[in-house]
Structure 1
Amino acid sequence: MGESGLQAVVVTLCAPGPDRAADREALVAAVAAAAAVETAAVRAGRVCPHCAGTDHGRPWASVHGTAVGVSLSRTTGVLAVAVAPATVGVDVERVSRVGAAPLDVFTPGELERAAGDAALLAACWAAKEAVLKRDGRGLRVDPLSVDVDVAAGTARFEGRDHPVTIHRPAPDLVLVVAAGGLPVVVEGSLSGECEHLGAVVGDRDGVLGVGRPGSRGTAERPAVGIGDEHVGVRHHPRFEREQEARPGA
């Protein structure tokens, strides 16, 4: 990808929008805000890597003709959109949902390190999804092939450690970004769950950290509602994600 003006991953969290018809417009707005350009400079859409359909599939976007990385995720009551200077994967999960639906996708190391902690297991699951979204194959790849070390901020996949940034924007939420160790800016607000979000998380090694609130001017930038990401993958049989069980999801 070329120069887009982006220096970090910008993730917006917000409540779901009214319908999927607003997805493209919202994606354009999010990319324009992150890249500090007018919406007229942005092109965006979806394309399925398997059938080439444009009514579903992976999101894509460009700024002044230069491709930027985008990734979308949703869980109950929350939407997340990531905009990055390069390929990115994002996932947001409810800790309570993962805790209530135990998965058979955790490695022995993950189970040992988590020691039954639902928040750590949720972070592991979200990191698996984020890494596999960035990879492009999604859950067509066995999640057991990804081994996540939350404390180290890494996910081992296909023989190498991928840095992941892990953030807890609310007590029942975990957000994970896979972007090769780029810094991550989290923006937006979730009414009734947490106060205004505005933090720089992660560092060159992808280890969780929290920076100064408002470092990207989030009070001035409105939250944008984005639909869920369809990456042409099947859902794991033990964990069917809410609002994503549609063709091509």
Structure 2
Amino acid sequence: MKTDDVLDAFAAGKISKEEVKRVLLGNTFVDAGCAKVDHCREYRTGGPEVVYCEGKTPEQVAVIMSEIVKCSGRALGTRATQAHFNALPAECGAEYDPVSRLIIVDGPERPAIGKIAVVSAGTSDLPVAEEAAKTAEFLGSRVERHYDCGVAGIHRLFSVMDEIIDASAIIAVAGMEGALPSVLGGMAVPPVIGVPTSVGYGANFQGLSALLAMMNSCAPGVGVVNIDNGFGAAFLAHKINLKR
């Protein structure tokens, strides 16, 4: 029984307080064997449990995501492969995006809230940018994408600034020297979440140089997540969006 159903039944006098406590305690997580699935995470944090697929077998991903779908009707898997997707039962209704490497099981359509702008420096940053954009959309935020707006042709960024400045949060995805978040931080009111990517030549050190550049940004109002962590940026941006 879902939490809302339990509370409705209690309000209607159909079940006792003891029964409510028993059901709610049982609903906190389900032991699926390979994982303890946290069904109450969205109530605590504003976002559901998301399955990090990398390092898990296709069978494990199928078990975990099926359990989440059974409870909530929707689920998200990150860093997934085609093999992970193929293992899911057809009744899940899952879709796989090979660019963002996301498995998405979407429930009933919900109105999107607010606005998050996802800005990427180059086309090579697209996989991380799309992970961020699609994750934020799954969580319930409205997303606007502005891709290939890096500082090597900064006029491209200037051409879309009017569409960015009214966002609740800006996710800036960049590799190479990682300059994009600093530029946005110096031009826009919304908080900027920098996502360094592993895109770049040897001295980029697989994203380390971009990470350090973003962390040392001169512009105030810039925060940084881990290398290639589009998911983490999206979750943070969505939480900011919820408060606007």
TM-score (norm 1): 0.26
Bigger RCO (CA 8 Å, 6+ sep): 1
Normalized per residue, which structure has more helix?
2
TM-score (norm 2): 0.26
Larger Rg: 2
